[in-house]
């Protein structure tokens, strides 16, 4: 298995830092958050990592070149055009070959043991496994009693995707946590979903594919911590947590 870290985001919510730096290099507990994500992936037994870059890409490349990691790290350059999560994955398919890929947003920090989602993916035979949780977010993915993805809803507006989706008792409504595994079985469909070089969201791809493919959830355990470091308030909570965990 290989890993892909999405580190290309502009990070407009973290201004003024991101006026002159990439979001992925913001410091958390004395270390760039990108370094923490890389360490967690290596701890899960993955030593082949791809990182996509766009905003102040050279700073991320310099950080990788000047930091010793026990992994082979390859850069996917999106300097000319930010491809979003689906387009970013599609761009690196030739680097993945027939191996599944663990995908991790650079601005997500968690104590969750990534080996657990790798095991869940392997045991279930799913085409994709998404880490999710019930948290304070209006946008939720909808899973059936067997944890299979059936759609999406906005709790505030009542909008659902696909149109006409019926949300019934026993369904699980959880938010996506920015960590997922995609099996190589989905790569051909990903290539056909949008043309090469076209930006699109991986969630849009999952929603289009879920009627025919086994896309499942794994809920974040209650005793694990999870931080979206792309927002100032949660960045500070993450800094407090990792500073106190030294």
Residue 246 has pLDDT above 70, yes or no: no
Residue 150 sits in which domain range? 2-244
| pTM as predicted | 0.96
Q: How far is CA 195 from CA 85, 86, 183, 185, 200, in A?
A: 14, 11, 20, 18, 10
What average pLDDT is seen over the chain?
Answer: 95
Q: How confident is the model over 184-211, as pLDDT tens digits?
A: 999 999 999 988 889 999 999 999 999 9
Whichever domain contains 134, its CATH number is 3.90.550.10
Domains: count for the chain: 1
What is the structure's pLDDT at 196?
82
Average pLDDT over residues 55-70: 97
Q: How far is CA 32 from CA 61, 165, 204, in A?
A: 13, 41, 30
Q: How confident is the model over 78-103, as pLDDT tens digits?
A: 999 999 999 999 999 999 999 999 99
Rounded CA separation 118/204 (Å): 23
Average pLDDT over residues 218-237: 94
Residue 152 has pLDDT above 80, yes or no: yes
What is the structure's pLDDT at 195?
81
Q: How far is CA 91 from CA 63, 96, 199, in A?
A: 22, 10, 10
């Amino acid at each position: 298995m290989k890993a892909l870290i999405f580190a290309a985001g502009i990070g407009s919510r973290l201004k003024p830092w991101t006026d002159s730096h990439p979001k992925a290099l913001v410091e958390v507990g004395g270390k760039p958050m990108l370094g923490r994500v890389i360490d967690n992936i290596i701890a899960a037994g993955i030593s082949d990592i791809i990182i996509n870059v766009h905003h102040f890409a050279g700073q991320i490349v310099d950080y990788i070149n000047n930091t010793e990691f026990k992994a082979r790290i390859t850069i996917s350059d999106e300097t000319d055009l930010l491809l979003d999560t689906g387009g970013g994955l599609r761009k690196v398919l030739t680097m993945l070959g027939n191996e599944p890929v663990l995908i991790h947003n650079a601005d997500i920090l968690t104590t969750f043991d990534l080996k657990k989602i790798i095991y869940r993916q392997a045991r279930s035979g799913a085409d994709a496994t998404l880490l999710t949780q019930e948290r304070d977010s209006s946008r939720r993915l909808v899973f059936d009693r067997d944890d299979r993805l059936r759609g999406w809803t906005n709790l505030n507006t009542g909008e659902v995707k696909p149109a006409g989706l019926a949300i019934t008792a026993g369904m699980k409504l959880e938010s996506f946590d920015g960590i997922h595994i995609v099996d190589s079985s989905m790569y051909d469909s990903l290539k056909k979903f949008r043309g090469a070089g076209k930006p699109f969201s991986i969630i849009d791809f999952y929603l289009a594919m879920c009627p025919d493919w086994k896309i499942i959830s794994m809920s974040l355990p209650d005793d694990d911590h999870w931080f979206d470091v792309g927002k100032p308030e949660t960045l500070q909570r993450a800094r407090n947590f990792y500073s106190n965990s030294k």
